[in-house]
Amino acid sequence: MKYKAYSKYKDSGVEWLGEVPEHWEESKLKYLFKFVSGGTPPTEDERYWNGELPWVSPKDMKSFRIIDTEDHVTRAAVSQTSTTLVNSNTVLIVTRSGILRHSLPVAIATKEMTINQDIKGLISFKQNIDPEYMARFIEGHQAQLLSVWRKEGTTVESLETDIIKDFTMVLPPAIEQTTITDFLDREINKVDTLLVQKRALIEKLKEKRTALISRTVTRGLPPEVARAAGLDPHPELKPSGVEWLGDVPEHWEIKKGRHLGILLGSVSPSEGNYTDNEKGIPFAKVDDLNHIDSSLLLLNTKNRVEGFPVTNRKLILFPKRGAAIFTNKVATAEGKFLFDSNIMGWEIYHSNETKYVAYCLIARRLDDLADVSTVPQINNKHIYPALFPKPPINEQCLIVDYLEDVNNKIDQLITKVETAINRLQEYRTALITATVTGKIDVRETQA
């Protein structure tokens, strides 16, 4: 839908705001809002926790309206500690958190709540201010406001309260603010509904891929694909004796991990071993496992090293400790590759196809293999005795080819959905920005 502009404009005096409707007024925030800070009650004192009052910290600032929080405090925490009670319709902004490197979370309290020391509450003390208009203004100008409000020289990203207070805001008349916020509620809700649907679609596609991998590496190719490849489309099955495998084709073997390949040690480069030279040896860290192609191949790494003897080889790489195990990220690497102590490297013997074993590892799930009783970890005592299916090598290769083709198609669909999500997010931000700065006139829009 195309929206009309206002009839007359004036210079706002703020370069990135540009012109605003002529009848809008300017005011510094300190004349519009009371700024309040919060705090954290002593965590060891049970009198202050698990009460009836929501306690807002940066981790709760994920939606425009906060209905509830992860943590709650008691009334005693309000009267006896530094935490602060705010009423509904208070504007909440994060003023200290690493998230301020790229985002400026803002929300509206929907009921009586408390806040911690990383949150500022902006309480309107004038009748002509709609708190939701202020919150939408911040939401639509996160990058610009971060560049103005950010405090320099601090170890943790934070905002300078005095600068925020002195910021000059442009305000429509009160009734127009309400019209704008009502309009944005309607339109943003439509966009957010689409975003939820598209994100759910991505999850379904990922689930389909996981199920397909598990089905194919344990049962073989789909009948029509197997027939086209000259294989029996309906092979006899036998019990594998392995719970996660179930029945497998009768001609397949079941092998322990120790018979499929050998686990390799990591290296620990010193500062002098790192190099920017493209001829350096790729050095994989856990984060690099997030960047693989649809065939599981790790194409590059953020770091390169030199000074280590290494030969060309094919490896399976996966996290060996910590929360990364639960991501079930498995990659393959070809050529000269090294990896750090948080990654396990598994070199597969030539009698097996490396990528087939990698797909088996994905189907088996790292967190199911690992010891998760304390700090999650995987080592040779988990991999070597684990049982895996072993089809004939030619069938392994055919399975890999099939999975790569299907995964590539799924990845293309996911990419298209992600592109649509990015466009919706851009439209969402642009619509908020255009509306709260008067670039479009929504006073005559209908609900």
In a domain? residue 97: yes
| Mean pLDDT score, 369-384 | 90
Cα torsion angle, 354, 356, 358, 364, sign: negative
In a domain? residue 41: yes
Say what the pTM is: 0.84
Same domain membership, residue 232 and residue 149? no
Identify the band that residue 293 occupies on the pLDDT scale cut at 50, 70 and 90.
confident
φ, ψ (nearest 5 deg) of residue 391:
-70, 170
In a domain? residue 221: yes
| Mean pLDDT score, 42-52 | 95
Task: Give the Cβ contact number of residue 76 at 10 Å.
Answer: 14
| Mean pLDDT score, 386-392 | 97
Same domain membership, residue 149 and residue 57? yes
Tokens representing 329 are 């990220």
Helices 142-149/131-140 angle, 10° precision: 90
Tokens representing 43 are 């965590």
Give the domain extent around 291. Answer: 205-409
Q: Please give the share of the chain, as a percent, with pLDDT higher than 70.
A: 99
Long-range CB pairs of 21-28, under 8 A, 24+ apart, other chains included: 21/172, 21/438, 21/441, 23/172, 23/173, 24/170, 24/171, 24/172, 24/438, 25/170, 25/171, 26/168, 26/169, 26/170, 26/171, 27/168, 27/169, 27/171, 28/165, 28/166, 28/167, 28/168, 28/169
Where are the strands (E) in 141-193, listed by range? 168-171
CA distances from 362 to 218, 376, 420 (A): 12, 17, 28
In a domain? residue 191: no
Q: Is the pLDDT of residue 446 over 70?
A: no
Highest mean pLDDT out of 151-160, 229-238, 371-380 = 229-238
| Mean pLDDT score, 60-66 | 96
Collect all residues with Cβ–Cβ distance below 8 Å to 98 and sequence separation of at least 6: 156, 157
Q: Which of 148-152, 361-365, 416-420 shows the lowest per-residue confidence on average (mean pLDDT)?
A: 148-152
Q: Is the pLDDT of residue 31 over 90?
A: yes
Q: Is the pLDDT of residue 155 over 80?
A: no
Same domain membership, residue 165 and residue 214? no
Same domain membership, residue 213 and residue 164? no
Instruction: Please name the helix (run of DSSP H) or strand (run of DSSP E) that holds residue 333, with its range, or none.
Output: strand 331-335
More confident: 446 or 52: 52
Q: Is the pLDDT of residue 317 over 70?
A: yes
φ, ψ (nearest 5 deg) of residue 303:
-120, 150
Nearest residue to 348 via CA among 236, 255, 252, 225: 255
**Residue 115 and residue 134 in contact, taking contact as beta carbons nearer than 8 Å:** no
In a domain? residue 370: yes
Residue 331: CATH number of its domain: 3.90.220.20
Placement of tokens 């509450």 in the chain:
121
Q: Is the pLDDT of residue 447 over 80?
A: no
Same domain membership, residue 381 and residue 328? yes
Our count of domains for the chain comes to 2
**Residue 150 and residue 162 in contact, taking contact as beta carbons nearer than 8 Å:** no
- pLDDT on residue 252: 97
Q: Is the pLDDT of residue 163 over 70?
A: yes
Collect all residues with Cβ–Cβ distance below 8 Å to 447 and sequence separation of at least 6: 182, 186
User: What single-letter amino acid sits at 447?
Assistant: A
